[in-house]
Amino acid sequence: MGRYLLRRTGLLLLAFALAATILFVVLRVLGNPVFALISVGATDADIAAAAARLGVDRPIWEQYFEYLRQLVTLDLGQSFTNRLSVGDEIMRRLNVTLPLTLLSFLLAVLIAVPVGFFAAWKSRTWYGATFSTLSQVGGAVPVFWVGILLVAVLSLGWRVFPAGGFPRTDWADPGAALYSLVLPVVTIALVAGSDLARYVRSATLDILGQQYMRAARATGQSFGTALRRHGVRNAVVPVISILAIMLSTTFVGAVVIERVYALPGLGDMLLVGIKEQDFPSVQGVLLFSTALVLLLGFAADIIQRLIDPRLRDSLSGNRRTAPAPAATVPASPAPAPSTGASA
């Protein structure tokens, strides 16, 4: 297991370094932040002064090594527009994005597990097929469209929840903060829960069709007992990787839906940075998101190996092999029958 951890950690660092390099190159190719900071009638001298102030007048390789040096020291730089620390700004905006992501994911799991299990258990009935169809339709709907629909009905129509915004006092008033997150949480959870319900249904159907479940039922165990003793552990292993993917998807959905509900989270920081061509802000948000996705995948792999000993043995170098068949000894030839004649 230790060798696998070292190998998997090396792959994690390599993937992050590759993503950081691609992000650096793409941002430099797509835009120039100098033009976002100068006026319409700026002269060549003004443009050169702005480029020198931002440090983009240096050779690209020099900018790249400075960029790597900052990443090694966990320094995401300063914003080109407001000169604030990008790392501090990300931490401040996580007060909105992180609770939104976790609450949405928790609600999505609470929706998906019973719906997916019921759709698999009653897959041959019309209401089981209805649950399955609804989950497929819900997963196909864009999250921002669901947000706009809920705002139109529950905010503008019935005036039950606010249409957007977040308290200026942040979490000093937890009740007001949670109340402002109700609609965004429901919006993300409906879409993410629909996707997750389909995976839960598939995993449950696969478990219910296994021979060990039939054997457990044949011994007199009830359906619930057989599922609890033999099915849950086998179903959890593939679902863990799906949960990691869905948590990453929920985080991305939170970043997108923050714009719909005017929440001051990472989504707002990312869109403003793109609009103003603020390289450090865009790089900081995207690198943080990339690192989060990679770490979730890493954690899911480790948890799977800890739960399933077959994966742990196969990837730690201790492969279980069947014993070699015993060597066969050739039988001695039978003695020739006696003819009864004397020499």
List per-residue pLDDT tens for the chain, 343 residues long.
Answer: 678 888 889 999 999 999 999 998 888 887 777 776 777 777 788 878 888 887 878 888 888 898 888 888 888 888 888 888 999 999 999 999 999 999 999 999 999 988 888 888 888 888 888 888 888 888 888 888 999 999 999 998 898 898 888 998 889 999 999 999 999 999 999 999 998 998 888 888 888 778 888 888 788 887 778 877 777 777 777 778 888 888 988 998 888 899 889 999 998 899 888 888 888 899 999 999 999 999 998 998 888 888 776 666 655 445 544 444 444 444 444 444 444 443 3
Q: Residue 113 sits in which domain range?
A: 86-308
User: Which of these three, 38, 72, 106, is where a domain ends?
Assistant: 72
Query: Do residue 139 and residue 36 come from a single domain?
Result: no
Query: Do residue 182 and residue 245 come from a single domain?
Result: yes
Q: Residue 327: inside a domain, yes or no?
A: no
Q: Residue 79: inside a domain, yes or no?
A: no
> Which alpha helices (DSSP H) does 31-82 contain, by range?
44-54, 60-72
Instruction: Pull the structure tokens for residue 114.
Output: 């019973």
Which pTM was predicted? 0.81
Query: Do residue 39 and residue 176 come from a single domain?
Result: no
Query: Do residue 203 and residue 110 come from a single domain?
Result: yes
Q: Residue 93: inside a domain, yes or no?
A: yes
Calpha distance 87→288 (Å, rounded): 9
Query: Do residue 121 and residue 212 come from a single domain?
Result: yes
Q: Residue 200: inside a domain, yes or no?
A: yes
Q: What is the CATH number of the domain that holds 131?
A: 1.10.3720.10
Query: Do residue 94 and residue 66 come from a single domain?
Result: no
Query: Do residue 109 and residue 246 come from a single domain?
Result: yes
Calpha distance 257→139 (Å, rounded): 15
Query: Do residue 67 and residue 95 come from a single domain?
Result: no
Query: Do residue 277 and residue 215 come from a single domain?
Result: yes
Q: Residue 340: inside a domain, yes or no?
A: no
- Residues sharing a CB contact under 8 Å with residue 119, sequence separation 6 or more, in sequence order: 128, 129, 131, 132, 135, 197, 201
User: Which of these three, 20, 50, 72, is where a domain ends?
Assistant: 72
Q: Residue 320: inside a domain, yes or no?
A: no
Query: Do residue 118 and residue 214 come from a single domain?
Result: yes
User: Which of these three, 72, 94, 127, is where a domain ends?
Assistant: 72
Q: Residue 78: inside a domain, yes or no?
A: no
Query: Do residue 285 and residue 157 come from a single domain?
Result: yes
Q: Residue 134: inside a domain, yes or no?
A: yes
Give the residues across from 164 on adjacent strands.
none
SS3 of residue 161 by DSSP: coil
Domain count, the chain: 2
Query: Do residue 6 and residue 123 come from a single domain?
Result: no
Chain mean position to CA 149: 25
